[in-house]
Amino acid sequence: MSQTVRDSLPRVGSRLNVRLAAAELEPLDEATTAQFEAYFTLLLRWNSKINLTAIRGEDAILSRHFVESIACARALPAEIASLLDYGSGAGLPGIPIALCRPGIAVTLAESQAKKAAFLREAVRVLGIQAIVHEGRAEALREKFDCVALRAVDRMAAAVKAAGELTRAGGWLAGITTDGEFAAIREAAGPGFKWSELLRLPGGQHRVLAQGQKLP
């Protein structure tokens, strides 16, 4: 890790909270801020060795990854007790959800071994109650109160599979763009009732699409 990155780390928490305030979101408490700082450090360290995320700039990680995922975590329905992060990758949005909503039992599903290894290390270091499933999410037998997707490959196929992993009355939560929402809704099929799109901070037409699975 470069000296520049090491010098910037003590400011990460305050920079994140400034961005949350700019997005009209409540700041994180001291303990959660420290966890996000540790997550940021891990993400930078591992991303220099394996391709966890194409977004590598510090400011972009804070604004695009962290603030967006925190906004998603806070917008999820209060009754959710279990959540699957489908194609978790770098742990987004699953790890921020686990940090911001510790009452939710989070499963991070990732088929690539190196990324799954990162997720296990993040869970260990951050001390969060999350399970890492190394393998395809479709292999899971249980159903979840919520299945979240963000920047996954073959989105249409992923949405269809994610819908099958959502329990009746549960939620499908996709972080996407408003231009892609129609395709997501079509892929999910007629068994979901969709809420109004929630605009996410950071622009670029980013939205949280939430569909509740009908009985």
The Cα–Cα gap between 57 and 193 comes to 37
Residue 177 pairs in a beta bridge with 206
Q: DSSP string covering the chain, please? A: --HHHHHHGGGHHHHHHHHHHHTT-PPPPHHHHHHHHHHHHHHHHHHTTS-S-S--SHHHIIIIIIIHHHHHHHHS-TT--EEEEET-TTTTTHHHHHHH-TTSEEEEEE-SHHHHHHHHHHHHHHT--EEEEES-GGG--S-EEEEEEES-SSHHHHHHHHHHTEEEEEEEEEEEEGGGHHHHHHHH-TTEEEPPPEEPTTSTTEEEEEEEEP-
Domain ranges within the chain, ordered by starting residue: 3-213
**C-alpha distances out from residue 36 to 123, 145, 165, 191, Å:** 12, 25, 29, 36
Res 9: pLDDT: 54
Contact 151, 116 (CB under 8 A): no
**C-alpha distances out from residue 46 to 30, 119, 134, 149, Å:** 25, 10, 18, 22
Low-confidence ranges of the chain (pLDDT < 50): 1-8
Res 56: pLDDT: 74
Res 152: pLDDT: 77
Res 15: pLDDT: 95
- Give the CATH class of 3-213: alpha beta
What's this model's pTM, rounded to 2 decimal places?
A: 0.92
Res 1: pLDDT: 42
